Amino acid sequence: MIFLTRRATFSASHYYWNDTWPAEKNQQVFGRCANRNGHGHNYTLEVTVAGEPDAVTGFVVDLKWLKDVIDREVMAAYDHRHLNLEVPEFASINPTTENIAIAAWRRLQPAVTAAGGARLSRVRVYETPDIFAEYRGEA
């Protein structure tokens, strides 16, 4: 089994807020991240697929195909967006690093599964060089 990872970067803004809480509690729990104007990050997304190399090409998946899937399914939706306001999956959940990883998985998995030959193994999202979340599809 080979694990192949492709990396991409995107810039996006977000804030953390719970509509069921008063503003004071949002400020207490989320601090500066509760600013409804948002703040931005340069995120790094790592997408790992697993499979056996093809006997003819030696590829687990074609890297150009994987780049195109990442661009179409994640980059087009997240890059240079205000995640809370412009990305449907974050209309009702906070776009934490953890939730971004899960949402990216859900966007990518159908395309990887449909292609056959490899499976989506891991999605890792770095919010900063020191903070990342990793999702492996366990629910």
Cα 7 to chain centroid distance, Å, stands at 11
* Tokens, residue 110: 């159908």
- Contact between 94 and 33 under an 8 Å Cβ cutoff? The reply is no
Catalytic residue positions? 33, 80, 127
Amino acid at 28: Q
Rounded distance between C-alpha atoms, residue 108 and residue 45, angstroms: 12
User: 17-51 burial by CB neighbour count: b if 16+ within 10 A, else e?
Assistant: beeeeeeeebeeebeebbeeebeebebbbbbbbbb
